[in-house]
Structure 1
Amino acid sequence: MRRRRPTIIDVAERAGVSKSTAARALANGESVLQETRDRVLAAARAVGYERNHLAVGMRSGRSGMLGLVIPDIANPFWADVARGAQDRAAKADVSLLVFSSDWDPGKEESHLRALRRARVDGAIVNPVSDALDDLNRFGLPFVLIGSSAERFADVSSVGSDISQAVELGLDHLVAKGHQAPVLIVGPRSRLARTRFLNAVQRHTIERDVDPAQMVIEDGEYTLEGGRQAMLRVLDRPRVGHISVFAANDMMAIGAMMAVRERGLRCPDDVSILGFDGIPAGAFTSPGLTTIAKPGRDIGARAVESLFDDIEGRPEHGRIYMPCRLVDRGSLADLLRQPRQLAG
Structure 2
Amino acid sequence: MSVTLRDVAELAGVSAATASRALDPTGSASSATRERVADAARRLGYVGNTAARSLRTCRSDTIGLLVPDVRNPFFTDLAYAVDKAASAAGLTVMIGNADEDGAAQDRYLAALERHRIDGLLVVPQGGATPGLRRIVETFPTVAIDRDAGLGVPVVASDSEAGMHALVDHAVALGHRRFAIVAGPQSTSTGRVRLDAARERLAHHDIRLSDGDVIEGDFRLESGLAAARRLLDHDPVPDLVVAADALMALGVLAVIRERGLRPGVDVGLAAFDDNPWFHVLDTPVTVVAQDTTVLARRALDALLRRIAGEDVDVAPIPTTLVVRRSLGETTTVKENAHE
Question: Residue 291 of structure 1 contacts residue 326 of structure 1 at CA under 8 Å; is this kept in 2?
Answer: yes
Shift of 1:150: 5.5
1:151 aligns with 2:156: no
Shift of 1:107: 1.0
How far apart, in 1, do the equivalents of 2:116 and 2:94 lie? 11
Give matches, 1:221-236, under 5 Å: 221-236=218-233
Shift of 1:190: 3.5
Amino acid at match of 1:269: D
1:328 aligns with 2:327: no
How far apart, in 2, do the equivalents of 1:282 and 1:63 lie? 42
User: Equivalent residue of 1:68, what SS?
Assistant: strand
CA displacement 1:50-105 (0-9 Å, x = unmatched): xxxxxxxx997111111000101110100111122111111111111111101111
Give matches, 1:36-75, under 5 Å: 61-75=58-72
Q: Which runs of 5+ in 1 are unaligned?
A: 1-57, 335-343
Question: Residue 142 of structure 2 contacts residue 153 of structure 2 at CA under 8 Å; is this kept in 1?
Answer: yes
User: Equivalent residue of 1:171, what SS?
Assistant: helix
How many residue pairs match? The answer is 273
Candidates 227, 234, 248, aligned match of 1:252: 248
Alignment RMSD, CA only? 2.2
Q: Which runs of 5+ in 2 are unaligned?
A: 1-54, 330-338
Question: Residue 67 of structure 2 contacts residue 122 of structure 2 at CA under 8 Å; is this kept in 1?
Answer: yes
Question: Residue 187 of structure 1 contacts residue 193 of structure 1 at CA under 8 Å; is this kept in 2?
Answer: yes
TM-score (norm 1): 0.74
Shift of 1:285: 2.7
CA displacement 1:253-292 (0-9 Å, x = unmatched): 2111101111111111111001111213223331111000
Question: For residue 283 of structure 1, what is the aligned residue in structure 2?
Answer: 279
1:311 aligns with 2:307: yes
Shift of 1:242: 2.4
How far apart, in 2, do the equivalents of 1:59 and 1:172 lie? 49
Shift of 1:198: 1.2
Give matches, 1:113-152, under 5 Å: 113-128=110-125, 130-131=127-128, 134-138=131-135, 139-147=138-146, 149=147, 151-152=149-150
Question: For residue 99 of structure 1, what is the aligned residue in structure 2?
Answer: 96
User: Equivalent residue of 2:168, what SS?
Assistant: helix
Candidates 160, 163, 166, aligned match of 2:160: 163
Question: Residue 239 of structure 2 contacts residue 266 of structure 2 at CA under 8 Å; is this kept in 1?
Answer: yes
TM-score (norm 2): 0.75
Shift of 1:333: 4.3
Query: 1:172 and 1:122, CA in 2 relative to 1: closer, same or farther beyond 3 A?
Result: same
Greater Rg, structure 1 or structure 2? Answer: 1
